[in-house]
Structure 1
Amino acid sequence: MAFTRFIILVALIAASYAQFLDLDSFTIDSPSVIYDGEVFDVVFDVTFTPTGGAASIITNSHGSTRFMPVFTLSEDGETLDLDAYSTVELTSAQQTTALTDDDSVTWSNLEASLNLTDIECGDGSVYQYACVSIMAYTGVTWSGVDTSNSSMCSSFVCKAVADVAISALTITNPDDSVIGIGGGQAVDFDITISNPSGGDNVVGSDNWIVKFYLSDEETGGTEVASETISLSSSQETADINAGSTSTFSDLAVTLTLDDVTCDDFAYACSSVEPASAAYWTRPASPSDNYVCVSVTCGAAAIKTSLMVMLLTVIVSLLFNH
């Protein structure tokens, strides 16, 4: 008898929580990057499904204001941080969406104004996720509706801000920085990356994109034959604290210079930027993230050598006579 009563009690409890509102999907459309100290307009899409009678309960909860979506950051992808959150203003049509149990509803282009002016994201490892939760509107009750699955989180890093730049570029090959045109030119070089004081530390497992290219100007010139450099694992994961530098040695690239002329370049340059999965980003008004050094076009060097040889022959003939 006791066992039968227990089964009945379990059934009654289950029935009392048979109404659910499940959040099925959550996608952030923009922006692609957020960081502390700014206000961001976040645009996102959600899909949710009422089941077991939840549609009727929510519909009858209020005539015009039923839902309150909340957008927030999270450290672990499970716990919502209400220090970094924003509620979403729904349209009248969205607030009074016709609901049917087991039929999903999609709201696209929802907007949340995320104020991070008083939020500290540190080195980018603090807030790793963004979350959305669909709740009952303030003062409205969805009696009996289980909303334990009406929240969802997605990877979305609040990034560190670092005005990182290359402070030194040394070409170790070819000799005398003579760049040959008309084909492939192998170049070996070293760079020093600087992270000035006053910004955030750069940490992570995929930090850097380094490029090498030729240019017609030392600053602000046209990029010629730009190539992205393959970095070693230790270079990709190199951390640089604010106020520090790191040297990447023995970098290598082959430039394709089949259609390049000597008039196209007088400098070789290297630049650095955050990798797509990096925990850091550049500031809104960054410094130049590249440095250029003077190089010699190989064709010009050949012409000079021929001229020297010709003058040598002429001088020799004059002395012989």
Structure 2
Amino acid sequence: MFSKNLKTAIKTAALCSSMVVGVAQAASTASIISQPPGNGWYTYGTTFSQLIPKATNDEYKIKLIPRGGGMTNPVVVNQEKADFGFATSNAAVWARDGLTDIYKGRTNKELRMVLDNVQQAYTITVARKAWVEQTGNDTWEKIINADKVIIAMKPTGSQVPIIADYVFKSLGTDFNTLKEQGKIVQMGSGQASQMMRDNAIDVYIDNVPAMHPNLTEMTLTSDVTYIPYPQKTLDELAKVGLPTGTMPAKTYDGQSEDYVNPVSATVFLTNSKVSDDVVYNVTKALVENQDDIKKAHSPLKFWHPETIGSQEELVELHPGAAKYYREQGWIK
């Protein structure tokens, strides 16, 4: 009798053990590549990595990779070295199609969209107001053809020189030509503010979100004119992942009107091979807890996932994300 009961107990224990193992195995771990600590995407990724397990009752664990950046993350995700990653909309398109010298024809066709337009960065061109009034160079066409002009932007390695090159090419020239003519200088945005105040530069182009501290400083400490983009430039940049958007009036000092410009959006990408269930549940967790995300990160207060169907699809939606959006009635 004792032996029989012992055997029964052993079987019961084994069954319970297998059930525990089964529960443990049910938890799925996914990875997110962000940026090094101290950068915006790292802080967003930290919040995502804490929120997703909580929202899914620990069904999904998240490993945050504290490396990467706007240009490298699409490649890492495409190569399945991370399940998800932050990127800019334009870098996602450049990487997918093998555009620019960075990707040099190496396509990344497995990229899929999860979240679009999480945060907008505006392509802003400002010029010293006194210089514009003195020379009459108040359009991009006049600026690139000016005999004497100093156009400042961030160093190579940033996406800004690439965006600027697309602007220049839409107007019949390019970055290298203007650089050889001595019309381009490159520096950090903080340094540019001082040089604008010192009249050492005439024009500055950058790609930044609202409330960016360096551009705020520049526009507060220098009288500037906002240089408009020709329609042909807007059309050309829209083809390479920079759709036309509007920066509302008074976003920055001296900006009395809405500013139409090529917009670079922060997007959240995955790989086509990540399962539909994982992407569906990650999408659901993030969208349905967006209030918590926005409370933690004020720059994301303009993220409106319900507008997904009204925006141009720059990168194909992952079927798991599309399923969730379709259930909400946001896409067909």
Same structural fold, with TM-score higher than 0.5 when normalized by the shorter chain: no
Place the TM-score, normalised by the shorter chain, in its bin. under 0.3
Say which structure is richer in helix: 2
Q: Computing the radius of gyration over CA atoms, which structure comes out larger, 1 or 2?
A: 1
Normalising by structure 1, we get a TM-score of 0.23
Say which structure is richer in strand: 1
Higher-RCO chain (CA-CA 8 Å, sequence separation at least 6):
2
